[in-house]
Chains A and B, each alone.
Chain A
Amino acid sequence: MNLYQSSIPIGRESFGQLVRAEWTKLRSVRGWKIAMLLAFALTVALAITVVSGRSQGSINGVVARPHVAAGPGGEPVTDTFFFVQQPLTGNGTITARVTSLVAPSLGTTVCTKSPGRLHCTAARDAGGPAGFLAPWAKAGLIVKASDTEGSAYAAVMVTPAHGVRMQWNYVNDVAGDPGAVSAKSPRWLRLTRSGDTITGYDSTGGHNWSEIDTVRLGGLAATVDVGLFVTSPQLVTVIRNGGLGGTVGGAVGSVPSFAQATMDFVNLDHTGAARAWHGVQVGGNGLSEYPSVGGGYYLSPAGTFTIAGSGDVAPAAIGGPGGTGQPIDVTLVGGFLGLLVLIMLGTVFITDEYRRGLIRTTLAASPRRGRVLAAKAVVVGAVSFVVGAFAATVCVIVGGSLLRSQGNLVYTVSALSEVRMIVGVGAVLAVGAVMALALGTVLRHGAGVIVGLLALFVLPEFLSVGQVLPAAAGEWLLRLTPAAGFAVEQSLQAFPQVSTFYWPQYGYYPLPEWGGFLVLCAYAVAALALASYLLGRRDV
């Protein structure tokens, strides 16, 4: 039996009364009210500072809106490739054999032969590193609603590093035969159209076909474009490694690349009259990442196509230098300062009681100490959630419109994701404040808690974002530390078929949104359990 613990039998106190008592304490201290306002104001102010400095779209003060096509679902897409095509009305099957996919080396020329005209350009003009073949260069067959950018398509293709793939409508990607293509090991590809259903096949010898996938392209017109395509995405590379402090984050840049493929045994099997093939450059206008003249083709008398292209047929909502727009979650970066202030509030909410001796009164009034801690957690958590969610709403709305007004393309996210991000900021701030409360109860002195929590929340971000650690080690830090919780703020989706740096500073976290948040919650629960145990066991 504890000497200082009240010997009066426990009355019928309700948890609601406890919460009310704690709320009264919180709202009646002037400094704490200021802290709540400050958490809101600093979050918004930092967001506006950051957003004002992100004017990707303006060059020398002139707003130049980046040109990004919209896919079938309205999502931003890249649709730039060289297309050797003819119209197809009704059903049909196209087959071809790909015998090579290479990067034209410096000095070689790429020739464009349109009917009656042969045009050659040096591959060097494409700007890519000579002889370097992009891992996701693509060459194969495509069925496309039209040759306007962003229209629906289904394609089957060979790639240098990812085998045969079937892709459709920009975001979908299914693997076929693995392995690269060469003259000794060619690949046969086939696309069959039946209504709005497209089936992709591959084969190594042209006899035994294996189906990759069957997909439906909704609303496909009777006449579509069908043919051969080649494209090669920009290469995103580290130009310079940075360090922490002076130069956070290494400089990463992108350069266009070029690919050239050889295809033969091209056969279009359909009921209509036979037509001639002709080359079309799809997209590539207004996108600085790709040369405006993307490529061309040459048809040998023996019926072998040599096609060169640059660009990509893929989603464009990519963070960092690989993308042309801004993810909306850059507006939420101010949550860092909000978190710092609310961590301070959560800490002093208990340590000031120890410092002033109020804790004796509190525990005498309510001897069930675990419930006192729970009531404090509810109050400080709820207040932090409201402040955080409110601040995040303002940041997303004001920051988003500021970004747009500066000429940035802001990747649209679904309303549900936007709500998740806003709720997520509130939740991270609430859990952070509750963790601070718990650690404040454990240590009973405030200042150390601030340093410790800041180290747990901020250091992992610094080490991985600043590329101080190798990417793998940095990612593990963001999986295992409370900083994992920031994953709930991410708005971008990583696409395996687009190779770029999926790094936290570009809006990608190693854990899924709520998974990361659960890691943070696990820390908070552990801290609360320890605090509750010590509070019950100690004198005061």
Chain B
Amino acid sequence: MTEVLRAEWTKLRTLPTAAWLLLAAVVVTVGLSAAVTGARNATYTGTSLDATKLSLIGVDLGQAVVALFAVLMVSGEYGCGLISVTVAASPRRHLILIAKALIAAVLSLAAGAIAVLGSLLIGGYLLTGNGLTVAHGYEITSLANATNLRAAGGTVLYLALIALFSLGVATIVREAVPAIGVVLGLLYVFPLLGAVVSDPVWSRHLQQIGPMTAGIAIEATRNLNGLPISPWAGLGVLAAWALGALVLGGLLFRYRDV
């Protein structure tokens, strides 16, 4: 197992793509959070503002880059035929997938932690600068309170689960373009449906089963009763998607030629 892990790690660190993508995920997340929180002002926003959730808005886009990183970990090997060498070198294929999953999870946890902390810091700074201060009845994005800490930590986990989900889908689909297409389609179609389906029961159920709509509930710190699904249950739904994709991918990987 250690050898397989080392092999995977070597493959990843010797190509510039992964490092650039993880950096891009951080930059995109923090950048979008900064742009959105910078554009908000007190006249637009009611006091019911969820400052933590708003500061984490960049995750909505950053997750696409994390997904791309994870998809390319698998599809990159299929693209250039390296996968034949990999499975020849370590015939116990499930170990390869486990090693890839571990590395994807650890790296996206690290990048996610930086992205989330950066977003919260810059979001808190910009929102306060725009007059949305505690004195005016707004909550700041301090990590001292347990709810905010749950939101921040949960969002880091969310990004790691997105990476695992993408890794699983990429193992099923193999080719990079269809794989990222399937991942992004599944992620973004549910929020879209939630916005256009006006029947409240339908809309709620759709948001409860969507990997993004359910998982992102972990970002919420206010109005928790109004969520379609409770924060940890939502993250559980995303974990189920990730596990399902990884198990199906693992089985296909095990029984397919390459």
Interface pair A50/B197, CB less than 8 Å apart: yes
Interface pair B72/A330, CB less than 8 Å apart: no
Please name the residue on chain A nearest to B40 by beta carbon.
A470
- The CA-CA distance from A419 to B176 in the complex, in Å, is 36
Bitwise, A233-244 to B at CB < 8 A (1) or not (0) is 000001011011
- The CA-CA distance from A537 to B91 in the complex, in Å, is 44
Interface pair A245/B191, CB less than 8 Å apart: yes
- The CA-CA distance from A469 to B32 in the complex, in Å, is 11
Provide the residues of chain A in CB contact with B54, threshold 8 Å. Answer: 243, 468
Contact of A245 among B67, B79, B213 (CB under 8 A): B213
Q: Distance in Å from the Cβ of B173 to the closest Cβ of chain A?
A: 11
Contact of B192 among A336, A447, A463 (CB under 8 A): A336
- The CA-CA distance from A245 to B234 in the complex, in Å, is 11
Q: Distance in Å from the Cβ of B44 to the closest Cβ of chain A?
A: 4
- The CA-CA distance from A454 to B65 in the complex, in Å, is 11
Q: How many residues of A contact B (CB 8 A)?
A: 52
What are the 10 A-B residue pairs with the smallest beta carbon separation, nearest first? Answer: A245-B216, A53-B197, A53-B202, A446-B177, A447-B176, A248-B195, A53-B199, A470-B44, A344-B181, A447-B180
Known: A245-B212, A347-B177, A447-B68. A337 touches B191 (CB 8 A): no
- The CA-CA distance from A344 to B183 in the complex, in Å, is 12
Interface pair A458/B40, CB less than 8 Å apart: no
Interface pair B177/A348, CB less than 8 Å apart: yes
Interface residues of A (CB under 8 A from B): 31, 46, 49-50, 52-56, 238, 240-241, 243-249, 330, 333, 336-337, 340-341, 343-344, 347-348, 351, 355, 445-451, 454-455, 458-459, 462-463, 465-466, 468-471, 473, 505
Given contacts A246-B228, A469-B40, 17 further A-B contacts (CB under 8 A): A31-B178, A53-B202, A240-B223, A241-B46, A243-B53, A245-B60, A245-B213, A247-B227, A249-B194, A343-B181, A344-B181, A351-B177, A447-B71, A449-B177, A454-B64, A454-B188, A465-B195
- The CA-CA distance from A50 to B190 in the complex, in Å, is 11
Please name the residue on chain A nearest to B215 by beta carbon.
A245
Interface pair B48/A246, CB less than 8 Å apart: no
User: Chain B contact residues: over half helix, strand or loop, or mixed?
Assistant: helix
Interface pair B65/A473, CB less than 8 Å apart: no
Known: A241-B45, A447-B71, A447-B176. A247 touches B228 (CB 8 A): yes
- The CA-CA distance from A267 to B234 in the complex, in Å, is 68
Interface pair B191/A46, CB less than 8 Å apart: no
Provide the residues of chain A in CB contact with B87, threshold 8 Å. Answer: none
Please name the residue on chain B nearest to A245 by beta carbon.
B216
Provide the residues of chain B in CB contact with A49, threshold 8 Å. Answer: 193, 197
Provide the residues of chain A in CB contact with B248, threshold 8 Å. Answer: none
Interface pair B39/A473, CB less than 8 Å apart: yes
Interface pair A245/B219, CB less than 8 Å apart: yes
- The CA-CA distance from A245 to B207 in the complex, in Å, is 8
Interface pair A470/B193, CB less than 8 Å apart: no
Q: Distance in Å from the Cβ of B9 to the closest Cβ of chain A?
A: 21
Interface pair B72/A447, CB less than 8 Å apart: yes
Interface pair B196/A337, CB less than 8 Å apart: no
